[in-house]
Amino acid sequence: MPGPVSDAYHPEFSTVDNADQIKQACQEMYDGVSEILDGKPPMYILDVVSSESLGRKITISLTEREWRILRFACERAIESI
């Protein structure tokens, strides 16, 4: 029988440190998006999806890293629904 699993183990990302780096990158993106949205609080997602009044265009350049982090976050959101 194997011994106890280390607290430093993460089942998907190998180590807790790796998982923490991913969480930090996602948090930085979240903070940046919040800033772009003028610090307005999050809205209930069904209100966002059905709203016709949120059509204001926001132009911003993102790095490839930022786009990839956003895509990762979207994939995770899709998986969780």
Tokens representing residue 7 in the block: 């607290």
CA 75, CA 54: separation in Å to the nearest integer? 23
Per-residue pLDDT of 34-70, as tens digits, reads: 999 999 999 999 999 999 999 999 999 999 999 999 9
Stretch (H or E) spanning 20: helix 16-36
Q: Which amino acid is at 59?
A: T
Read off the pTM. 0.82
Rama region for 50: left / alpha / beta (φ>0; ψ in -120 to 50; rest): alpha
Residue given tokens 């969780």 in the structure block: 80
Considering the chain, what is the average pLDDT of its residues?
92
